[in-house]
Amino acid sequence: MDHVKKYNSIFIEVFDVEVTELNNDFTIDYKSNWDSIRHLSLIAALEDEFDMMLDTDDILEFNSYEKGKHLLAKYGIEL
């Protein structure tokens, strides 16, 4: 499975959404169930899947589907 599919699968599982919902509009403000528990679940799943650790500042800045792509690129994971 390529990185984009893995990334999307994590969002689909954590937020219980369809792949068609994953776009630039998918943000912490857009999705009402993006709460602190789901946020930490998202971070943990990404760290496990991509075998990396996000810095605290990056975890706090991770507020959208698109921002997550940019943050992963910072760690050498291109989507």
Q: Is the pLDDT of residue 71 over 80?
A: yes
Q: How many CA atoms lie within 13 A of 21 on its CB side?
A: 13
* Assigned domain for 79 exists: no
pTM for the predicted model, two decimal places: 0.92
What CATH number is attached to the domain comprising 8? Answer: 1.10.1200.10
Strands (E), the chain: none
Domain count, the chain: 1
Residue 65 covered by a domain: yes
* pLDDT tens readout for residues 25-67: 999 998 788 999 999 999 999 999 999 999 999 999 999 999 9
Give CA angle at 73 (12, 51), nearest 5°. Answer: 65
